[in-house]
Amino acid sequence: MLGENKKLAIISMASIPLVMTLGNSMLIPVLPMIEKELGITSLQVSMLITIYSVVAIICIPIAGYLSDQIGRKKVIIPSLIISGIGGLVSGVAAVYVANPYYLILVGRFLQGVGAAGASPIVMPLVGDMYQDQQEVSKGLGTIETSNTFGKVLSPILGASLATLQWYLPFFSFPIFCFISILLMVFLVKSPPLSTEKIKLPDFLKILKSIFRREGRWLYAVFIIGGVCMFVLFGVLFYLSTMLEDKYQIEGVKKGIVLAVPLAALCFSSFFTGKYIGQDLKKMKSMTVMGLLLLAISISCIAFTEDIYVLLTCIFVSGIGIGFALPSLDAFVTEGIVKEQRGSVSSFYSSMRFVGVALGPPVFTFLIKISHQFLFLVNGILCFLIFLIAIFMIKASEKLKYTW
């Protein structure tokens, strides 16, 4: 591919995590409004985030396996179509059904199925398209930045649409999916995979061998990625509810406040993707530094409920997560050969979705005990993954698996 075509392809692929993030994170600032409109509990409304993620967790390994067998685009494009249909189902239910909660959940279920075969498959596709590892890292940095930019844009866009009608975020999602589909069809040429198709039993044996040999650092990366997303989405859910209930900050103003820490995450992701290249030591050092920032900032929140200190700490935690995620992406994508890259990276994506799924309900439960308890528990959890990164990720080891 020519350089210009590569740039267009990366932009096209980056639209997918952006769109998938919008599909989920746009609802964060709207959840309190949905709760009131539908007359449901805070736990029920958190299920709109959780069901999306739980379904994705189950379907991502299947999508990863299929992408290794039939090709990335053949999985991504149908998945975008399913996601768009899911958004449409939720929107139509909200407008035309008397008690729409459960039908909205069905729509979110479909969105989760589609999300499993879209955003997680982009990472191995980037690895397939570039031979130079420096380009792979930059491409992954762009993808992660797009993901985090979606998180920045989501609360503002979601809150803005909801000020017109609370259900408009559902209807906007199919439009975004349609744009991504067009970009993927016309601007991305997926390189061919191995012509030899591996039968499922043999494929499972290969995966078992990979995890037996590379399990030490792979499990560490999976756990760290999951905890980062758990803390991020839990804090966003907590902050969204607190801003509205305690400070009466609603609508677009709330969206802007929520976007500030996510903007920090976005910029630090972009910087990290450019900085780490193919240097394993840089990947590890950025991961460790990011997790230390996350652990300190989350622990500090436990000792104050001052809104300015809270927002400052969350801003710093966003920077920390932004340092860690692109480095983790690079470890997984560059550390596994192309033929198994989709499947192995799908387990990593599943763990991230586990974090997204657990964040809102667990934070809802823990905050009932106390603010201090909630953030002390999460601070300890962040220090644990900081230690895992130090002792289980060996930057001096050769990561590439061959068989």
| pLDDT at res. 398 | 45
272, pLDDT greater than 70 = yes
Highest averaged pLDDT of the listed ranges 79-93, 157-171, 215-229, 246-260: 79-93
Residue 234 lies in a domain: yes
Q: Cα 269–271–272 angle (5° rounding)?
A: 65
So what's the pLDDT on residue 336?
66
Residue 402 banded pLDDT, cuts 50, 70, 90 = very low
* 399 in any annotated domain: no
- Write the CATH number for 49: 1.20.1250.20
* Dihedral in degrees, nearest 10, Cα atoms 143, 77, 83, 331: -30
pLDDT at 34: 92
State the average pLDDT over residues 319-326.
92
pLDDT in the model for residue 346: 76
Name residue, tokens 């780490």. Answer: 276
For the chain, percent of residues with pLDDT exceeding 70: 91
- Tell me whether residue 397 is in a domain: no
Residue 387 forms part of a structural domain? yes
Tell whether 400 is covered by a domain.
no
Higher pLDDT, 387 or 245: 387
Q: Residue 363: name the closest of 204, 238, 276, 197 by CA.
A: 238
The yes-or-no verdict on residue 396 having pLDDT over 90 is no
Per the domain annotation, does 402 fall within a domain? no
pLDDT (average), residues 303-322? 90
Residue 191, in any domain of the structure:
no
Report if residue 289 sits inside a domain: yes
At 257 the pLDDT is 84
Mean pLDDT to the nearest integer, 92-102 = 93
- When pLDDT is averaged across residues 57-69 and rounded to a whole number, the result is 83
Residue 231 has pLDDT above 90, yes or no: yes
Give the integer Cα–Cα distance in Å for 271 and 72: 27
Q: Would you state the pLDDT for residue 149? A: 80
| Helix, strand, coil fractions of the chain, as percent rounded to 5 | 85, 0, 15
Number of domains in the chain: 1
Token pair in block for residue 100: 């729409």
Mean pLDDT of the chain: 84
Least confident stretch, 177-191, 213-227, 384-398: 384-398
Alpha-carbon gap, residue 34 to 62, rounded angstroms: 32
Res. 1: pLDDT tops 50: no
Range of the domain at 87: 3-186+196-392
- Per mean pLDDT, which of 166-175, 190-199, 239-248 is the most reliable? 166-175
What's the pLDDT at 388?
95
Q: Which of 256, 50, 264, 270 is nearest to 153 (CA)?
A: 256
